[in-house]
Amino acid sequence: MNRRRVVITGMGAVTPIGNNVNDFWASLIEGRSGSGRLTRFDATDFSSQVAAEVKDFNPDEFIDPKESRRMDYFVKYAMASAEQAMKQANLDLEAVNLDRAGVLIGSGIGGIETIEKQKEALDAKGPRRISPFLIPMLIVNMASGMVSMRFNFRGPNSCVVTACATGNHAIGDAARLIQLNQADVMLAGGSEGAITPLGFGGFCALRALSTYNDEPETASRPFDKTRNGFVMGEGAGVVVLEELEAAKKRCATIFAEVAGYGMTADAFHVTMPEPEGRGAQGAMRLAIEDAGLNPDEIDYINAHGTSTEYNDKTESYAIKQVFNSHAKKAAISSTKSMTGHLLGAAGAVECIACAKALETGVVPPTINYHEPDPDCDLDYTPNTAKELPIKTAMSNSFGFGGHNAVLVLKKFEG
Protein backbone atom coordinates (compact mmCIF):
# COMPACT_ATOMS: atom_id res chain seq x y z
CA MET A 1 0.00 0.00 0.00
CA ASN A 2 1.33 3.45 -0.92
CA ARG A 3 1.80 5.65 2.12
CA ARG A 4 -0.40 8.73 2.16
CA ARG A 5 1.53 11.98 1.96
CA VAL A 6 1.12 14.71 4.58
CA VAL A 7 1.43 18.45 4.06
CA ILE A 8 1.31 21.60 6.18
CA THR A 9 -1.48 23.97 5.12
CA GLY A 10 -1.72 26.25 8.14
CA MET A 11 0.60 27.57 10.86
CA GLY A 12 0.13 29.53 14.06
CA ALA A 13 2.58 30.70 16.70
CA VAL A 14 2.87 32.67 19.92
CA THR A 15 6.52 33.36 20.72
CA PRO A 16 8.82 35.77 22.56
CA ILE A 17 9.59 37.45 19.22
CA GLY A 18 6.11 37.65 17.72
CA ASN A 19 2.58 36.52 18.45
CA ASN A 20 1.86 35.31 14.93
CA VAL A 21 3.87 33.53 12.27
CA ASN A 22 4.57 36.62 10.15
CA ASP A 23 5.99 38.61 13.07
CA PHE A 24 7.87 35.58 14.36
CA TRP A 25 9.50 34.96 10.99
CA ALA A 26 10.35 38.62 10.43
CA SER A 27 12.06 38.70 13.82
CA LEU A 28 14.05 35.56 13.02
CA ILE A 29 15.30 36.99 9.74
CA GLU A 30 16.21 40.29 11.41
CA GLY A 31 18.10 38.44 14.15
CA ARG A 32 16.01 39.96 16.93
CA SER A 33 16.53 38.67 20.44
CA GLY A 34 13.50 37.82 22.56
CA SER A 35 15.54 37.53 25.75
CA GLY A 36 15.52 40.15 28.47
CA ARG A 37 15.42 40.70 32.20
CA LEU A 38 12.68 38.59 33.70
CA THR A 39 9.56 40.67 34.46
CA ARG A 40 6.99 38.02 35.43
CA PHE A 41 8.12 37.99 39.08
CA ASP A 42 10.96 39.30 41.25
CA ALA A 43 13.98 37.18 40.35
CA THR A 44 16.47 38.98 42.59
CA ASP A 45 17.32 35.83 44.56
CA PHE A 46 17.57 33.55 41.53
CA SER A 47 20.91 32.65 39.94
CA SER A 48 19.49 33.49 36.53
CA GLN A 49 17.36 36.56 35.94
CA VAL A 50 16.97 36.26 32.18
CA ALA A 51 14.01 34.86 30.27
CA ALA A 52 12.39 34.99 26.84
CA GLU A 53 8.85 36.02 27.76
CA VAL A 54 5.84 36.33 25.46
CA LYS A 55 5.00 40.03 25.18
CA ASP A 56 1.73 41.89 24.58
CA PHE A 57 -0.31 38.72 24.30
CA ASN A 58 -4.06 39.28 24.61
CA PRO A 59 -5.93 35.97 24.92
CA ASP A 60 -9.25 37.79 24.47
CA GLU A 61 -8.42 38.09 20.76
CA PHE A 62 -8.77 34.33 20.46
CA ILE A 63 -10.74 33.02 23.45
CA ASP A 64 -13.96 34.00 25.18
CA PRO A 65 -12.84 35.92 28.33
CA LYS A 66 -14.99 33.75 30.62
CA GLU A 67 -13.39 30.58 29.24
CA SER A 68 -9.94 32.14 29.31
CA ARG A 69 -10.13 32.64 33.08
CA ARG A 70 -10.43 28.86 33.41
CA MET A 71 -7.32 28.09 31.35
CA ASP A 72 -3.67 27.93 32.24
CA TYR A 73 -1.42 29.96 29.98
CA PHE A 74 -0.08 26.94 28.12
CA VAL A 75 -3.64 26.24 26.99
CA LYS A 76 -4.22 29.88 26.02
CA TYR A 77 -1.08 29.90 23.89
CA ALA A 78 -2.16 26.67 22.21
CA MET A 79 -5.67 27.96 21.54
CA ALA A 80 -4.33 31.17 20.00
CA SER A 81 -1.88 29.29 17.79
CA ALA A 82 -4.56 26.81 16.68
CA GLU A 83 -6.92 29.66 15.75
CA GLN A 84 -4.20 31.26 13.63
CA ALA A 85 -3.33 27.98 11.93
CA MET A 86 -6.94 27.19 11.12
CA LYS A 87 -7.53 30.67 9.74
CA GLN A 88 -4.51 30.37 7.48
CA ALA A 89 -5.50 26.88 6.32
CA ASN A 90 -8.94 28.22 5.38
CA LEU A 91 -10.59 24.86 6.00
CA ASP A 92 -14.32 24.68 5.35
CA LEU A 93 -15.40 22.70 8.41
CA GLU A 94 -18.71 21.85 6.78
CA ALA A 95 -16.77 19.98 4.09
CA VAL A 96 -14.50 18.15 6.57
CA ASN A 97 -15.36 14.77 8.04
CA LEU A 98 -14.97 15.86 11.66
CA ASP A 99 -14.78 12.23 12.80
CA ARG A 100 -11.50 12.07 10.88
CA ALA A 101 -10.12 15.40 12.11
CA GLY A 102 -7.99 15.28 15.24
CA VAL A 103 -5.71 17.15 17.61
CA LEU A 104 -2.31 16.25 19.04
CA ILE A 105 -0.81 19.12 21.03
CA GLY A 106 1.68 18.44 23.80
CA SER A 107 3.48 20.29 26.57
CA GLY A 108 6.65 19.53 28.44
CA ILE A 109 5.44 20.79 31.81
CA GLY A 110 1.76 21.77 31.59
CA GLY A 111 -0.09 23.93 34.09
CA ILE A 112 2.58 24.70 36.66
CA GLU A 113 1.31 28.27 37.13
CA THR A 114 -2.09 26.88 38.14
CA ILE A 115 -0.46 24.50 40.62
CA GLU A 116 1.52 27.30 42.25
CA LYS A 117 -1.44 29.65 42.58
CA GLN A 118 -3.75 26.98 43.96
CA LYS A 119 -1.11 25.84 46.46
CA GLU A 120 -0.98 29.44 47.69
CA ALA A 121 -4.77 29.44 48.05
CA LEU A 122 -4.64 26.14 49.97
CA ASP A 123 -1.98 27.40 52.36
CA ALA A 124 -3.66 30.75 52.95
CA LYS A 125 -7.33 29.79 53.13
CA GLY A 126 -7.63 26.02 53.33
CA PRO A 127 -8.98 23.28 51.04
CA ARG A 128 -12.39 24.91 50.55
CA ARG A 129 -10.72 27.64 48.49
CA ILE A 130 -9.20 25.27 45.95
CA SER A 131 -10.71 25.99 42.55
CA PRO A 132 -12.93 23.27 41.07
CA PHE A 133 -11.06 24.02 37.83
CA LEU A 134 -7.66 23.14 39.32
CA ILE A 135 -7.36 19.73 37.69
CA PRO A 136 -8.83 20.66 34.27
CA MET A 137 -6.54 23.69 34.18
CA LEU A 138 -3.28 21.90 34.98
CA ILE A 139 -3.47 18.58 33.14
CA VAL A 140 -1.29 18.45 30.06
CA ASN A 141 -3.91 16.96 27.72
CA MET A 142 -6.21 19.95 28.14
CA ALA A 143 -4.59 21.91 25.30
CA SER A 144 -5.62 19.15 22.89
CA GLY A 145 -8.97 18.80 24.60
CA MET A 146 -9.90 22.49 24.41
CA VAL A 147 -8.74 22.85 20.81
CA SER A 148 -10.80 19.81 19.76
CA MET A 149 -13.87 21.32 21.45
CA ARG A 150 -13.29 24.63 19.71
CA PHE A 151 -13.38 23.06 16.23
CA ASN A 152 -15.52 19.99 17.03
CA PHE A 153 -12.71 17.71 15.86
CA ARG A 154 -13.88 14.25 16.90
CA GLY A 155 -11.05 12.16 15.46
CA PRO A 156 -7.80 11.11 17.14
CA ASN A 157 -7.13 13.25 20.22
CA SER A 158 -4.05 12.89 22.37
CA CYS A 159 -1.03 14.70 23.73
CA VAL A 160 2.70 14.07 23.96
CA VAL A 161 4.87 14.80 26.99
CA THR A 162 8.52 14.25 26.11
CA ALA A 163 10.15 17.36 27.56
CA CYS A 164 11.93 19.40 24.87
CA ALA A 165 11.17 16.83 22.15
CA THR A 166 7.41 17.22 22.62
CA GLY A 167 6.62 19.49 19.67
CA ASN A 168 8.41 17.32 17.12
CA HIS A 169 6.92 14.14 18.55
CA ALA A 170 3.43 15.65 18.36
CA ILE A 171 3.79 16.68 14.71
CA GLY A 172 5.47 13.41 13.75
CA ASP A 173 2.87 11.28 15.51
CA ALA A 174 0.03 13.30 13.99
CA ALA A 175 1.52 12.91 10.53
CA ARG A 176 1.71 9.14 11.10
CA LEU A 177 -2.02 9.04 11.86
CA ILE A 178 -2.75 10.63 8.49
CA GLN A 179 -0.25 8.38 6.69
CA LEU A 180 -1.91 5.32 8.24
CA ASN A 181 -5.36 6.52 7.10
CA GLN A 182 -6.65 7.02 10.65
CA ALA A 183 -7.22 10.74 10.09
CA ASP A 184 -7.41 13.23 7.23
CA VAL A 185 -6.71 16.45 9.13
CA MET A 186 -4.71 17.00 12.32
CA LEU A 187 -3.90 20.07 14.40
CA ALA A 188 -0.52 19.35 15.95
CA GLY A 189 2.17 21.10 17.96
CA GLY A 190 3.37 22.05 21.41
CA SER A 191 2.76 24.71 24.04
CA GLU A 192 4.49 25.90 27.19
CA GLY A 193 3.84 28.52 29.85
CA ALA A 194 6.19 27.60 32.68
CA ILE A 195 8.02 30.84 33.50
CA THR A 196 6.92 30.82 37.13
CA PRO A 197 8.95 31.00 40.35
CA LEU A 198 8.85 27.22 40.77
CA GLY A 199 9.36 26.30 37.10
CA PHE A 200 12.14 28.84 36.60
CA GLY A 201 13.68 28.02 39.97
CA GLY A 202 13.80 24.35 39.12
CA PHE A 203 15.94 24.98 36.05
CA CYS A 204 18.11 27.35 38.10
CA ALA A 205 18.64 24.56 40.62
CA LEU A 206 19.78 22.33 37.75
CA ARG A 207 22.28 25.05 36.77
CA ALA A 208 20.86 24.80 33.26
CA LEU A 209 20.06 28.49 32.71
CA SER A 210 22.30 31.26 31.42
CA THR A 211 23.62 33.60 34.08
CA TYR A 212 24.49 36.46 31.76
CA ASN A 213 22.17 38.64 33.84
CA ASP A 214 23.89 41.87 32.83
CA GLU A 215 23.70 40.98 29.12
CA PRO A 216 20.20 39.52 28.84
CA GLU A 217 19.68 40.06 25.11
CA THR A 218 22.82 38.06 24.30
CA ALA A 219 22.43 35.40 26.98
CA SER A 220 21.41 32.65 24.53
CA ARG A 221 24.60 31.80 22.63
CA PRO A 222 24.23 28.43 20.90
CA PHE A 223 27.52 26.90 19.71
CA ASP A 224 29.52 29.91 20.95
CA LYS A 225 32.46 29.08 23.21
CA THR A 226 31.20 31.48 25.91
CA ARG A 227 27.75 29.86 26.26
CA ASN A 228 26.82 28.99 29.82
CA GLY A 229 23.19 27.84 29.74
CA PHE A 230 19.89 28.20 27.96
CA VAL A 231 17.37 31.02 28.22
CA MET A 232 13.95 29.79 29.33
CA GLY A 233 11.17 30.74 26.94
CA GLU A 234 7.44 30.21 26.51
CA GLY A 235 4.79 30.13 23.80
CA ALA A 236 3.28 27.71 21.32
CA GLY A 237 3.38 26.49 17.75
CA VAL A 238 0.56 24.63 15.99
CA VAL A 239 0.30 23.41 12.40
CA VAL A 240 -2.56 22.09 10.29
CA LEU A 241 -1.60 18.79 8.70
CA GLU A 242 -3.62 17.38 5.79
CA GLU A 243 -3.50 14.44 3.45
CA LEU A 244 -1.94 15.73 0.25
CA GLU A 245 -4.65 14.82 -2.27
CA ALA A 246 -7.39 16.35 -0.13
CA ALA A 247 -5.35 19.54 0.24
CA LYS A 248 -4.79 19.71 -3.53
CA LYS A 249 -8.45 19.05 -4.24
CA ARG A 250 -9.50 22.10 -2.25
CA CYS A 251 -6.65 24.19 -3.74
CA ALA A 252 -5.05 24.75 -0.36
CA THR A 253 -1.78 26.63 -0.03
CA ILE A 254 0.85 24.03 0.82
CA PHE A 255 3.79 25.33 2.85
CA ALA A 256 5.78 22.11 3.15
CA GLU A 257 5.52 18.34 3.15
CA VAL A 258 6.21 16.40 6.33
CA ALA A 259 8.36 13.80 4.63
CA GLY A 260 10.35 12.14 7.41
CA TYR A 261 10.13 11.40 11.14
CA GLY A 262 12.52 9.58 13.43
CA MET A 263 12.54 9.02 17.17
CA THR A 264 14.93 7.25 19.52
CA ALA A 265 16.06 7.17 23.15
CA ASP A 266 19.48 7.88 24.61
CA ALA A 267 18.86 5.42 27.48
CA PHE A 268 21.64 7.24 29.31
CA HIS A 269 20.81 10.02 31.82
CA VAL A 270 17.87 12.11 33.02
CA THR A 271 19.32 15.42 31.79
CA MET A 272 22.67 14.81 30.04
CA PRO A 273 22.85 13.81 26.39
CA GLU A 274 24.69 10.59 25.58
CA PRO A 275 28.29 11.79 24.99
CA GLU A 276 28.53 10.64 21.38
CA GLY A 277 24.92 11.51 20.56
CA ARG A 278 24.04 7.97 19.53
CA GLY A 279 20.33 8.59 20.08
CA ALA A 280 20.46 11.87 18.18
CA GLN A 281 22.33 10.18 15.34
CA GLY A 282 19.76 7.41 15.20
CA ALA A 283 16.80 9.79 15.09
CA MET A 284 18.39 11.84 12.30
CA ARG A 285 19.16 8.75 10.25
CA LEU A 286 15.65 7.37 10.69
CA ALA A 287 14.04 10.67 9.66
CA ILE A 288 16.24 10.99 6.58
CA GLU A 289 15.55 7.39 5.56
CA ASP A 290 11.82 7.84 6.19
CA ALA A 291 11.87 10.84 3.84
CA GLY A 292 13.49 8.74 1.11
CA LEU A 293 16.60 10.91 1.08
CA ASN A 294 20.34 10.61 1.51
CA PRO A 295 22.09 12.73 4.15
CA ASP A 296 23.75 14.91 1.51
CA GLU A 297 20.30 15.95 0.27
CA ILE A 298 19.49 17.84 3.49
CA ASP A 299 20.01 21.53 2.80
CA TYR A 300 19.18 23.11 6.17
CA ILE A 301 19.26 21.85 9.76
CA ASN A 302 17.37 23.72 12.46
CA ALA A 303 19.48 22.47 15.35
CA HIS A 304 18.30 21.77 18.86
CA GLY A 305 21.14 24.14 19.81
CA THR A 306 20.18 25.07 23.36
CA SER A 307 23.27 27.12 24.33
CA THR A 308 24.33 24.57 26.94
CA GLU A 309 27.88 23.21 26.98
CA TYR A 310 27.17 19.53 26.44
CA ASN A 311 24.12 19.72 24.17
CA ASP A 312 25.76 21.91 21.57
CA LYS A 313 28.98 19.96 21.24
CA THR A 314 27.17 16.60 21.35
CA GLU A 315 24.73 17.67 18.63
CA SER A 316 27.58 19.00 16.50
CA TYR A 317 29.40 15.68 16.83
CA ALA A 318 26.23 13.73 16.00
CA ILE A 319 25.65 15.82 12.86
CA LYS A 320 29.21 15.11 11.71
CA GLN A 321 28.72 11.38 12.25
CA VAL A 322 25.46 11.31 10.26
CA PHE A 323 26.41 13.68 7.44
CA ASN A 324 30.16 13.04 7.11
CA SER A 325 31.65 15.56 4.64
CA HIS A 326 28.24 17.13 3.99
CA ALA A 327 28.14 18.31 7.62
CA LYS A 328 30.46 21.18 6.68
CA LYS A 329 28.29 22.13 3.70
CA ALA A 330 24.80 22.10 5.22
CA ALA A 331 23.39 25.34 6.54
CA ILE A 332 22.69 25.05 10.28
CA SER A 333 21.16 27.47 12.75
CA SER A 334 19.71 27.57 16.23
CA THR A 335 16.68 29.82 16.37
CA LYS A 336 16.78 29.40 20.16
CA SER A 337 19.40 32.14 20.05
CA MET A 338 16.41 34.44 19.43
CA THR A 339 13.38 32.71 20.93
CA GLY A 340 15.06 31.17 23.94
CA HIS A 341 14.18 27.57 24.69
CA LEU A 342 10.41 27.04 24.49
CA LEU A 343 10.71 23.56 26.05
CA GLY A 344 7.69 21.51 24.94
CA ALA A 345 6.80 24.12 22.31
CA ALA A 346 10.31 24.36 20.85
CA GLY A 347 10.02 21.66 18.20
CA ALA A 348 6.71 22.93 16.88
CA VAL A 349 7.91 26.53 16.59
CA GLU A 350 11.13 25.35 14.96
CA CYS A 351 9.19 23.16 12.51
CA ILE A 352 7.37 26.33 11.48
CA ALA A 353 10.75 28.06 11.05
CA CYS A 354 11.80 25.22 8.74
CA ALA A 355 8.61 25.53 6.70
CA LYS A 356 9.16 29.28 6.33
CA ALA A 357 12.78 28.71 5.31
CA LEU A 358 11.59 26.35 2.57
CA GLU A 359 8.91 28.80 1.47
CA THR A 360 11.15 31.87 1.35
CA GLY A 361 14.59 30.46 0.57
CA VAL A 362 16.07 32.19 3.60
CA VAL A 363 17.98 30.52 6.44
CA PRO A 364 17.59 32.27 9.79
CA PRO A 365 20.79 33.03 11.71
CA THR A 366 22.29 31.93 14.97
CA ILE A 367 22.74 35.25 16.74
CA ASN A 368 25.20 36.00 19.54
CA TYR A 369 27.79 33.81 17.84
CA HIS A 370 31.16 35.51 18.18
CA GLU A 371 33.74 33.15 19.67
CA PRO A 372 34.08 29.82 17.86
CA ASP A 373 34.25 26.64 19.90
CA PRO A 374 36.68 23.99 18.57
CA ASP A 375 34.08 21.33 19.46
CA CYS A 376 31.45 23.15 17.39
CA ASP A 377 33.03 23.69 14.00
CA LEU A 378 30.15 23.69 11.51
CA ASP A 379 28.37 26.46 9.58
CA TYR A 380 25.86 27.80 12.12
CA THR A 381 24.83 30.79 9.95
CA PRO A 382 26.41 33.27 12.36
CA ASN A 383 24.50 36.45 13.18
CA THR A 384 23.04 37.17 9.74
CA ALA A 385 20.35 35.35 7.74
CA LYS A 386 21.31 34.14 4.30
CA GLU A 387 19.44 33.37 1.10
CA LEU A 388 19.69 29.75 0.03
CA PRO A 389 17.51 27.83 -2.43
CA ILE A 390 16.72 25.00 -0.03
CA LYS A 391 14.46 22.07 -0.86
CA THR A 392 14.81 20.07 2.35
CA ALA A 393 15.01 21.02 6.02
CA MET A 394 15.53 19.02 9.18
CA SER A 395 14.36 19.96 12.68
CA ASN A 396 16.15 18.42 15.68
CA SER A 397 14.62 18.16 19.15
CA PHE A 398 16.23 16.34 22.06
CA GLY A 399 14.64 16.24 25.51
CA PHE A 400 15.38 15.46 29.14
CA GLY A 401 14.94 11.75 29.74
CA GLY A 402 16.83 10.99 26.53
CA HIS A 403 13.92 11.57 24.14
CA ASN A 404 14.96 12.38 20.56
CA ALA A 405 12.60 13.46 17.76
CA VAL A 406 13.61 14.62 14.29
CA LEU A 407 11.41 15.87 11.44
CA VAL A 408 12.36 16.26 7.78
CA LEU A 409 10.34 18.69 5.68
CA LYS A 410 10.41 18.97 1.89
CA LYS A 411 9.53 21.93 -0.25
CA PHE A 412 6.34 21.03 -2.08
CA GLU A 413 6.72 21.47 -5.83
CA GLY A 414 3.50 20.47 -7.49
Residues annotated as part of the active site:
164, 304, 341
Residues making up the chain, counted from first to last: 414
Q: Is 249 helix (H, G, I), strand (E, B) or coil?
A: helix
Give the CA angle between residues 259, 401, 43 to the nearest 5°: 105
Going by their DSSP bridges, the two strands 256-265 and 300-302 should be labelled as unpaired
Rounded distance between C-alpha atoms, residue 380 and residue 214, angstroms: 25
Residue type, 89: A
Contact 408, 261 (CB under 8 A): yes
Collapsed DSSP state (helix, strand, coil) of residue 365: coil
DSSP state of 8: E
What lies within 8 Å, CB to CB, of 2 at 6+ separation is none
* Phi and psi, residue 319, nearest 5°: -60, -40
Query: Rounded to whole angstroms, how far apart are CA atoms 90 and 73?
Result: 26
Q: Where are the beta strands (DSSP E) in 353-391?
A: 362-363, 386-387
H-only helix segments in 55-141: 65-68, 73-89, 112-125, 134-138
Q: What is the DSSP letter of 284?
A: H
Where are any strands of DSSP class E within 303-346?
331-333
Q: Which residues pair with 303 in a beta bridge?
A: none
Residue 82's region, left for phi above 0, alpha for psi from -120 to 50, else beta, is: alpha
- 31 vs 17: CA distance, rounded Å: 10
Rounded distance, CA 217 to CA 238, Å? Answer: 26
- Among candidate residues 292, 409, 392, 290, the one with its CA nearest the CA of residue 348: 409
Distant-in-sequence, close-in-space partners of 254: CB < 8 Å, separation ≥ 6: 7, 8, 9, 244, 247, 248, 412
